[in-house]
Amino acid sequence: DVKVTQSSRYLVKRTGEKVFLECVQDMDHENMFWYRQDPGLGLRLIYFSYDVKMKEKGDIPEGYSVSREKKERFSLILESASTNQTSMYLCASTPGQGYEQFFGPGTRLTVL
C-alpha cells in the first residue's frame, strides 16, 4: 500500500513564524501536491512538484513556497505565517502518468 505521511497532525504557530510542513511518500511517486482545505471551499492546490527540484504554482501559491530535494519528500514552507493561513493542509502523491492521488492524514495548522 502507498503510504503518505505528514510530519504533524496538529500544529500551533504564532504570526510571523516560519513554518515547515513535511510530507513523505514511500512508493517512488514522481508527482507530489500540497493542498489547503477550508470549509465550503474544498481542496485548493497550493503547489505541486513533478520531479526532484521541479515545482509549479497551483491556484493559491501566495504566501507559500515549497522544496523538493529528494523524490520522496515534499516540504511546504510558510515564510511568515499569518492568521489567514490557519487551515487543514493535505499532501498527496501520484505516479508519473497517473491521476489517482494518494493522500496523507493532513496537518491542521493554527496560526495565532
Partner 1 sequence: AQSVTQPDIHITVSEGASLELRCNYSYGATPYLFWYVQSPGQGLQLLLKYFSGDTLVQGIKGFEAEFKRSQSSFNLRKPSVHWSDAAEYFCAAPSSGTASKLTFGTGTRLQVTL
Q: Which residues bind partner 1 (CB under 8 A)?
A: 4, 9, 31, 33, 40-43, 45, 48, 50, 56, 58, 90, 92, 94-106, 108
The Cβ of residue 26 has, within 10 Å, a number of other Cβ atoms equal to 12
Whichever of 51 and 79 has its CB closer to partner 1, that residue is 51
- Please report how close the Cβ of residue 29 comes to partner 1 at its closest, in angstroms: 9
Residue 87 pairs with which residues in a beta bridge? 109
- Please report how close the Cβ of residue 103 comes to partner 1 at its closest, in angstroms: 4
- Please report how close the Cβ of residue 67 comes to partner 1 at its closest, in angstroms: 18
Whichever of 62 and 100 has its CB closer to partner 1, that residue is 100
Whichever of 33 and 64 has its CB closer to partner 1, that residue is 33
CA pair distance 108, 90, nearest whole angstrom: 9
Whichever of 61 and 106 has its CB closer to partner 1, that residue is 106
C-alpha to C-alpha distances, 8 to 19, 21, 27, 75, 95, nearest whole angstrom: 12, 8, 20, 12, 24
- Please report how close the Cβ of residue 80 comes to partner 1 at its closest, in angstroms: 27
Residues 6+ apart with CB under 8 A from 45: 33, 34, 35, 58, 59, 60
CA pair distance 91, 85, nearest whole angstrom: 16
